[in-house]
Amino acid sequence: MIRISNLKLGIDEDISSLKDLVIKKLKIKEKDLIKYNIYKESIDARRRGKIDFVYTVDAQVNNEDKILKSKVKDVVKVKQATYIGVEIGTEKLNNRPIIIGSGPAGLFAALLLAQKGYNPLLLERGLDVDNRTNDINNFWNNRKFKNNSNVQFGEGGAGTFSDGKLTTRIKDIRCRKVLEELVNFGSPDEILYSHKPHVGTDILKGVVKNIRNEIIRLGGEVKFDSKVTDVIVENQEIKAVVINETETIESEAVILAIGHSARDTYKMLHKRGVRIIQKPFAIGARIEHPQELINKSQYKEFYNHPRLGAADYRLIEHTSNARTAYTFCMCPGGSVIASASNEFEVVTNGMSEHARDKANANSAFLVNVLPEDFGSEDPLAGVHFQEKYEKLAYELGGKNYNAPAQLVGDFLNDKVTTSLGSVEPSYKPGVEFVDLRECLPEFVTTTMKEALVSLDNKLHGFAMHDAVLTGVETRSSAPIRIVRDEETLESANTKNLYPCGEGAGYAGGIVTAAVDGIKCAEKIIMKYSNL
């Protein structure tokens, strides 16, 4: 198999022309092209008046060696196209592996272990995705919050109620396995090659359910409403977990994939002596614009072309106070959603369906927070920092889960908004106009103000007066790291406990979390026999 990159088609050229480009590039006859498939598709909109689709293609051809020896530009041999896996170990496993948490890290760890015959037990503190969806809708529409069934907790983790973005910067063949498995379980084929793949929350709900059913079919077990309330540690080695304070289950291989919002679990682990350290993260608000404005800014006269869909953006600004403001988890054609995981707190996030066809675009607009900002050496000080501002947001919003909000123009001029402009906030249950300086640190709002003005030069309209800021966004990543050994991936001071994914501080999105879950599962597979 060879890989051909930098193949360009104009926006109005048919995708079928790609075959001709491959043949021309390789200087071969049509009969010598056995098969080809798109490995990556991206959009080049850098030149005014022209937009190209740029492709990387994997091809199987006759006389491959001859083509490679000719050293055609942008043509290389594919070193490894598929995930191979690891060899099974020999040590006896007395109890089945336990995975705590069913987000991307936990799901993919459990899936791989099930595929290899280890009959894992997957424990989820929340509910299955169908009941979870009902509970979330009840919260958004009727303000009825459930501690164990919300945007953060439940089958599929926080990523299930998001844009389902699958972009990642890591170069790891396991990423391909993640994408291929997602397609196997119901995601669209396009995620295998799209430069910025996403699934959408509407499709993800079915995908995570299909993965769960496969884990069960292969001999695994999935238990919902099963919160791990304690761990049994002897001689710095995990022996068992306790579920709902009543049921103890022994295991010598426990993957900890709890997500970035399991604060009570963090506290329990810290109490049990598991090594935890502070970690930087970021906080801010969601910024919401008309999607059409973003489309026009990014695509100019092509903004309504049917092949392009909703445009996105990614912005970063280093400000004069040595802070960094940036956009994160941008959701084209999506909604700002209520994402609290505890009562009496307000947290925002973003979500899109696969079509990305809602009127507004939204993104987290964040400022970096450092451990020295926490004001304490406590390993959980970052958690307390988050909680402080989430509780302030709840108070300012009216103590009814409304979110504090302010128009960008008013935010820049320190004025409380009195009426909406051209952007209707999508957050449910609703918003309350406030001065966001009252629920965010001063260094955050100062940085946001300076960055808004600068970033408007990069994305025209970003600082439009009527854009809406909805606070607070605090869960971009975990504020702690559960320290692990770099070689074994076990906790640095608790053997057989494998901290994993976003919640442990080792991932930053759906794909990276899933890859980390696979890595932890591989360590168990390499050590233990499945007999």
Backbone angles phi, psi at 91, to 5 degrees: -70, 140
Q: How high does pLDDT run on average in the chain?
A: 96
Amino acid 46: pLDDT: 87
Amino acid 166: pLDDT: 95
Instruction: Give the N- to C-terminal CA distance of the chain in Å, as an integer.
Output: 36
Residues 403-452: pLDDT tens digits?
999 999 999 999 999 999 999 999 999 999 999 999 999 999 999 999 99
Tokens representing 57 are 């293609």
Any alpha helices (H) in 1-128, and if so which ranges? 17-26, 64-69, 104-115
Amino acid 79: pLDDT: 84
Give 169's pLDDT tier (boundaries 50, 70, 90).
Answer: confident
Amino acid 48: pLDDT: 86
Residue 107 CA to residue 114 CA, distance in Å, equals 10
Residue 319 CA to residue 450 CA, distance in Å, equals 7
Closest CA to 216 of 105, 76, 107: 107
Residue 78 preceded by cis peptide, ω within 30: no
- Other Cβ atoms less than 10 A from the Cβ of 25: the count is 19
Residue 296 CA to residue 282 CA, distance in Å, equals 29
Residues 79-90: pLDDT tens digits?
877 899 999 999
Average pLDDT value for residue range 214-235: 98
Amino acid 531: pLDDT: 84
Question: What is the DSSP secondary-structure string of 157-200?
Answer: -GGGGS--B-------HHHHHHHHHHHHTT--GGGGTBSS-B--
Helices 104-115 and 201-217 pack at an angle, to 10 degrees, of 30
Amino acid 80: pLDDT: 77
Residues 110-152: pLDDT tens digits?
999 999 999 999 999 999 999 999 999 999 999 999 999 999 9
Task: Give me the long-range contacts of 370-377 (CB less than 8 A, separation at least 24).
Answer: 370/280, 371/278, 371/279, 371/280, 373/441, 373/443, 374/278
Residues 30-59: pLDDT tens digits?
999 999 999 999 999 888 899 999 999 999
Residues 261-312: pLDDT tens digits?
999 999 999 999 999 999 999 999 999 999 999 999 999 999 999 999 999 9
Percent of the chain at pLDDT > 90 equals 96
Amino acid 231: pLDDT: 98
Amino acid 40: pLDDT: 94
Amino acid 47: pLDDT: 87
Amino acid 378: pLDDT: 98
Instruction: Check pLDDT > 90 for residue 18.
Output: yes
Average pLDDT value for residue range 166-185: 94
Amino acid 413: pLDDT: 98
Q: Is the pTM of this model over 0.85?
A: yes
Amino acid 454: pLDDT: 97
Any alpha helices (H) in 397-509, and if so which ranges? 408-412, 442-455
Residue 275 CA to residue 491 CA, distance in Å, equals 7
